[in-house]
Each structure stands twice: as structure tokens, then as C-alpha cells.
């Protein structure tokens, strides 16, 4: 029986309070629920700060506006990178870890007090780092390459944040142990939990790399260490800087599967295949860090080519598997839900009015077409030389982290609000448009930065006219157009971001309470058969769809492969023109 305060459950001799979710029928540990809420709220706060800073960056890169002077630009750029690439993302991911362990496995969260301590460290660390940057002496950008030196508080804040996140990962693994020991699930864990395990494993490597390099750098900033080797710093720092974005990839793929399961009752096409794809991430995805070092003369071609063009492609294979199995599982579920006519009725009649579904599908498409393809191009040593350290790099990671991860997390929020905060989304019409505004804005930002980068615009310079440089250089007029369009689409994404924050905060504060009776309706539009048959419970189950015919998915995957091959070889043609042989 579920009550407002929850039922008391005693598992393994330890008491915990639970409630039963009226949609998924899962037992929700109230301690885990409070922690999920706290981490999600913190995530949205840091997204709002980082997003605002991102708008200022785009308005400065827009040559016709050129808003900030150089000093303010680098300060704002530093805040933008830290708040969105680390703080927003990792707070939200910790919330996902607690959901995918305690909630999906029907068990209590391990050591909630320790989890709160970790959360406290993360908040303290994030605020300390932001405060250090606001003082004006730590405008070292997200990468904080030595010998540029920030104030000691900058590094200390990041270390505290990393330790807090590591505590969150430990609580997650502890919860997995509890669930297995107390037999709260049968067989293997659900696929969404397996995706979260992948994210947590990459997080441990990420945080360890951060600790290895940031602790000595902090001591260096205090004067206890005399010298940090610049190349060694870059190598180990990217173990944190790039791997932190690989946590995102694993987490948002898990989110895609979760949203498809809750809204459409979708099962993975094959548990074995999808779990193998996550396994490829565990083994190889972190090696993508090497693409940031492909032009370093101190590292051998063997190291570069093995880590990127050999091992990384195995992780890319994992992404391509998910790129087929996620839409495939949606098609299979929709055909089961009655949409069997033609090749694409399942897609046309998907719940596009539901912001959770729309955000998830846009994230899937844009991550693959923009972030994924550009990532393979950047990871190819020969092609990398054309766009290394140009705006192509932020163009790529805005395709992965903004259009991919951020949009997927925004989409999940529309389910977290009714299922965890137990509030019905206010302003459903605004919520319906939000993922389209943000998604199209993010896609434009990514594409136009990719375009500007291809034309050679540097990623770290605040002024494309190079007005303060001794030697002048004129970029092609198209580069100015690209940066202007980047600014316009940043405005569109900002409108989408503001709507997200308004709807989220408004719902938490003023949303109608979700009850047993209106719980399903609170999830938004979804196929009638899923609502009637309780299909949302699929999110907590293990088991695949089996062999099904998926003509629509085959066509979508074919379109992707053609786009991939064309774009890849177009870049080889660019390379041949860059260095004529005759």
C-alpha cells in the first residue's frame, strides 16, 4: 500500500521508507527520492548559470555584436564551460545513478547520509570554483592548461566537486550490492541500469584522472610544487575533460532507452546486443581523449592512431548499435501498439506532443548526425589536422553534449517531474514547444561552429577580425556569416533553455499534485495501449523484443550511413586540396 509518507520496509535488517509508484509499480526509497530531487534541482541551477554565460559567449563571437571585451570574454567562457560541461551534467547524472539503482532495482539506497555528504561536497566545490572565477584571476577556461595559473580555490573547488561525485558513484555501486544481496530483482539488471553502470565506471576513471592532475596543480598554485609539465598536464587532464563527456554519452543512451520504455512500453531489441554495445563503451570510449592530442609532436603516431583510429572505432561501433536499436525498439513497440501501416506510421503517430518523447528523439537524431559523425572526423589523425583547435571542436561537442546529452536530460525531466517530484507539468503548451526550440537552436549552434571551424576560425580567440594581432589575417566572408548564424541560433536555444527552467521551477513550486488517479495522464500524451496495459513498467524489467521486422528503422539507418560516408569522404577531399601533391 502506498501512502503519502510511504510504507516502512525492512530489508536486510535495515529499515527504509518506500512508496509505490502508481505508473511503474516500482517501490521508491524515499531517501533516494530526496537525493534525486536535490541533485536534479542543483543541476538545473547550474544549467541556468552556464546557459546564460553561453549566450554571452555566442553574442561576443557574433562579429556584428561582439558584446564583451577580451577580459570579460575569457571569464565568461570559463564559467560557461565549467557550469554546463561539469556541474549541470554531473549533478543530473548522479540523480540518474540513484534512480537507476535504488528505484529501478526496487531497493533501498546504500548509505543516504554519505550520499548527502557527497552532494554537499559537490555543491561546495562548484560554488568555490565559480566564486574563484568571478574574482577575475582564474579566467583559464575549462581546460585550464598550465602554465596559465588560476587561484588555488579554482582547483580546490574542482577537487571537492570530484570527491563528492566519486562518493555518489560509490553509493551507486553499494546500492547494486544491496540489491543483489537482498534479491530485489531476478536475473540480470534492466538495460537502463546497465547503462548507468557504464556511466558510473567511466565516471570513476574520469574522477581518478582529475584527481591525479588537479591535486598537484593545486599544490603548484599554492607554491609547493615548482613545475608542472605542460604536455603531461594535457594528457592526464583530458582523461578527465573528455571522459567526463563520455559519462554523458552512456547516461543519455540509458535515458533514451528509459524514455522509450516508460512512454511507449519499448523493450530493447536484444538485451545481448545492447549490453555488448555498452560493454564496448566500458572498454574503449575513454580512449577518445586522445583526439585532443593528435597534433602534439611529443606523442608517437602509434599512440595516436591506436587510441583514436583503432580503439575508438570500437566505441563508435557501440554508438552505431545503439543508433539502430533505440529507434528499432521504438518501432517495434509502436507496431505492437497498433501503428502497423506503411513504413513510417509508427514514427508519424509517435507522441510528438509529449516533450519527453520529442526531446528524446531529437537528441537521438542530432547526437548521431551532428555529434557522432563530426566526432569520427575529429578522431581521424589525418583529418584532425584541418580543424584541430578550431571552432570545429566546440561545434562537435555542442552536437554531443548540448543537442545530445542536455536535450535528453531535459526530456527526462518531463518524466522526473510527475514520477519523482510528483507534480504535474504546468504550462504544457510551452513544455511541448521547448524541446523543439532548444533542439533546433542547439543543432544550429553546432552546425555553424562546425562550418566556421572548417573555414579555420580558431576556437579560443575572442575576435575573429584579429584586430589586436601584429599580423592580420582575413577569414572568408562565409566565416562571418557562420558566426552570425551561430549567434542567432544561440538566441533560439536560449529561449528554449529559459522555457525549460521556467517550466521546471514553476512545476516544482506550483504544479498540481500527482495522485494515483492522474499519474498516467501526468506523463503527457502516450499511446492508449501503453496506458491501458501498464507498459511503462517495462523500464524496470530485463528482456529483449526478439526477432522483429523493422523496415522504417532500416531506412533511417541507411540514411545515416550514406550521410556518414559522404561527409567523411568530403573531408578527405578537403584535405587533398589543403596540401596539393602536384
Partner 1 sequence: MAESERGERIPFMQRVLDNPFLLLFLGVAIPTVLYILWGLIEITQIPIAD
Query: Contact residues for partner 1 (CB under 8 A)?
Result: 173, 176, 187-189, 194, 197-198, 200-202, 204-205, 208-209, 229, 231-232, 235-236, 239, 243, 272, 275-276, 279, 282-284, 286-287, 289-290, 293, 298-300, 303, 306-307, 311
Q: Please report how close the Cβ of residue 11 comes to partner 1 at its closest, in angstroms.
A: 19
- Give the residue with the Cβ less far from partner 1, 49 or 200: 200
- Measured CA to CA in angstroms, residue 190 lies from 182, 345, 473 at distances of 16, 28, 55
CB of 231 to partner 1, least distance (A): 5
Closest approach, Cβ 282 to partner 1, in A, equals 4
Rank residues 18 and 172 by Cβ distance to partner 1 and give the closer one. Answer: 172
Nearer to partner 1, 208 or 495 (CB): 208
* Sequential DSSP letters for 6-42: -EEEEETTEEEEEEE-TTT--EEEHHHHHHHHHHHHH
421 contact partners, CB below 8 Å, separation of at least 6: 37, 507, 508, 511
The widest CA-to-CA distance across the chain, in whole angstroms, is: 79
Q: Which is nearer to partner 1, 23 or 146 (CB)?
A: 146
Closest CB 233 distance from partner 1, rounded Å = 10
Q: Residue 19 — φ and ψ, nearest 5°?
A: -130, 165
Q: How far is the CB of 419 from partner 1 (least distance, A)?
A: 25
For residue 116 the three cell numbers come to: 548527502
305 versus 488: smaller Cβ distance to partner 1? 305
Which residues, other chains included, contact 81 with Cβ-Cβ below 8 Å and sequence gap of 6+?
A: 50, 141, 142, 143
Could you tell me the smallest distance in angstroms from the CB atom of residue 140 to partner 1?
22
Residue 463 CB, shortest distance to partner 1, in Å, is 33
Whichever of 23 and 176 has its CB closer to partner 1, that residue is 176
* 407-to-99, 186, 264, 278, 440 alpha-carbon distances in Å: 19, 32, 19, 21, 10
Rounded Cα distance between 258 and 268, Å, is: 10
CB 457, min distance to partner 1, A: 29
Give the shortest CB-171-to-partner 1 separation in angstroms: 13
Q: Are 84 and 54 a contacting pair, CB within 8 Å?
A: yes
Q: Which three cell numbers stand for residue 356?
A: 519527453
Mapping DSSP to helix (H, G, I), strand (E, B) and coil, where does residue 108 land? coil
Q: How far is the CB of 38 from partner 1 (least distance, A)?
A: 25
| Cell numbers that stand for 388 in this block | 584541430
Looking at the Cβ atoms of 306 and 427, the one nearer to partner 1 is 306
Q: Please, what is the angle between helix 112-134 and helix 30-61, to 10°?
A: 20
Burial string for 194-218 (b: 16+ CB within 10 Å, else e) reads bbbbbbbbbbbbbbebbbebbebbb
User: Residue 279 or 473: which CB sits closer to partner 1?
Assistant: 279
Q: Which is nearer to partner 1, 191 or 483 (CB)?
A: 191
Cell reading at 373: 559523425
In a 3-state reduction of DSSP, which class is residue 253? helix
The nearer residue to partner 1, 78 or 101, going by C-beta atoms, is 101
Amino acid at each position: 500500500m502506498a501512502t503519502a509518507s510511504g510504507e516502512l520496509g525492512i530489508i536486510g535488517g535495515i529499515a527504509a521508507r518506500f512508496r509505490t509508484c502508481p505508473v511503474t509499480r516500482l517501490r521508491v526509497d524515499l531517501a533516494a527520492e530526496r537525493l534525486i530531487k536535490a541533485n536534479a534541482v542543483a543541476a538545473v541551477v547550474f544549467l541556468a548559470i552556464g546557459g546564460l554565460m553561453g549566450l554571452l559567449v555566442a553574442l561576443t563571437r557574433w562579429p556584428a555584436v561582439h558584446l564583451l571585451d577580451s577580459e570579460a570574454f575569457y571569464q565568461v567562457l570559463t564559467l560557461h564551460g565549467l557550469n554546463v560541461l561539469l556541474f549541470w551534467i554531473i549533478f543530473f547524472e548522479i540523480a540518474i545513478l540513484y534512480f537507476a539503482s535504488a528505484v529501478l532495482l526496487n531497493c533501498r539506497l546504500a548509505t543516504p547520509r554519505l550520499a548527502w555528504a557527497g552532494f554537499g561536497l559537490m555543491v561546495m566545490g562548484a560554488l568555490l570554483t565559480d566564486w574563484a572565477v568571478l574574482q577575475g584571476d582564474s579566467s583559464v577556461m575549462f581546460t585550464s592548461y598550465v602554465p596559465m595559473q588560476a587561484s588555488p580555490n579554482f582547483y580546490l573547488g574542482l577537487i571537492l566537486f570530484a570527491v563528492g561525485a566519486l562518493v555518489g558513484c560509490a553509493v551507486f555501486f553499494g546500492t547494486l550490492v544491496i540489491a543483489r544481496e537482498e534479491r530485489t530483482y531476478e536475473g540480470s539488471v534492466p538495460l537502463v541500469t546497465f547503462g548507468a553502470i557504464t556511466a558510473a565506471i567511466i565516471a570513476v576513471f574520469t574522477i581518478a584522472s582529475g584527481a591525479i592532475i588537479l591535486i598537484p596543480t593545486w599544490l603548484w598554485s599554492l607554491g609547493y610544487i615548482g613545475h608542472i609539465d605542460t604536455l603531461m598536464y594535457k594528457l592526464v587532464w583530458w582523461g578527465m575533460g573528455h571522459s567526463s563527456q563520455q559519462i554523458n554519452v552512456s547516461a543519455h543512451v540509458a535515458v533514451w532507452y528509459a524514455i522509450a520504455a516508460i512512454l511507449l512500453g519499448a523493450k530493447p531489441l536484444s538485451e545481448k546486443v545492447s549490453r555488448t554495445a555498452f560493454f564496448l563503451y566500458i572498454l574503449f570510449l575513454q580512449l577518445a581523449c586522445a583526439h585532443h592530442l593528435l597534433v602534439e609532436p611529443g606523442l608517437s603516431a602509434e599512440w595516436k592512431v591506436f587510441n583514436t583510429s583503432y580503439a575508438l572505432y570500437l566505441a563508435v561501433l557501440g554508438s552505431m548499435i545503439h543508433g539502430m536499436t533505440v529507434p528499432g525498439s521504438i518501432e517495434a513497440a509502436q507496431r505492437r501498439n497498433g501503428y502497423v501501416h506503411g513504413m513510417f506510421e509508427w514514427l508519424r503517430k509517435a507522441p510528438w506532443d509529449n516533450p519527453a518523447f520529442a526531446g528524446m528523439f531529437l537528441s537521438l537524431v542530432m547526437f548521431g548526425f551532428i555529434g557522432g559523425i563530426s566526432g569520427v572526423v575529429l578522431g581521424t589523425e589525418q583529418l584532425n589536422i584541418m580543424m584541430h583547435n578550431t571552432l570545429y571542436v566546440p561545434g562537435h561537442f555542442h552536437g554531443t553534449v548540448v543537442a545530445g546529452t542536455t536535450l535528453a536530460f531535459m526530456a527526462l525531466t518531463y518524466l522526473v517531474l510527475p514520477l519523482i517530484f510528483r507534480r504535474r507539468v504546468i504550462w504544457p503548451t510551452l513544455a511541448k514547444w521547448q524541446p523543439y526550440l532548444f533542439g533546433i537552436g542547439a543543432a544550429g549552434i553546432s552546425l555553424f561552429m562546425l562550418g566556421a571551424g572548417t573555414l579555420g576560425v580558431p576556437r579560443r580567440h575572442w575576435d575573429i577580425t584579429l584586430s589586436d594581432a601584429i599580423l592580420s589575417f582575413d577569414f572568408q566572408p562565409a566565416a562571418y556569416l557562420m558566426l552570425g548564424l551561430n549567434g542567432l541560433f544561440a538566441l533560439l536555444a536560449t529561449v528554449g533553455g529559459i522555457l525549460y527552467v521556467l517550466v521546471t521551477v514553476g512545476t516544482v513550486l506550483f504544479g498540481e499534485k500527482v495522485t494515483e488517479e492522474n499519474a498516467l495522464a501526468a506523463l503527457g500524451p502516450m499511446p492508449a495501449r501503453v496506458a491501458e496495459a501498464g507498459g511503462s513498467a517495462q523500464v524496470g524489467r530485463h528482456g529483449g523484443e526478439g526477432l522483429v521486422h523493422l523496415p522504417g528503422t532500416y531506412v533511417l539507418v541507411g540514411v545515416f550511413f550514406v550521410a556518414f560516408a559522404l561527409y567523411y569522404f568530403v573531408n578527405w577531399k578537403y584535405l587533398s586540396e589543403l596540401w596539393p601533391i602536384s
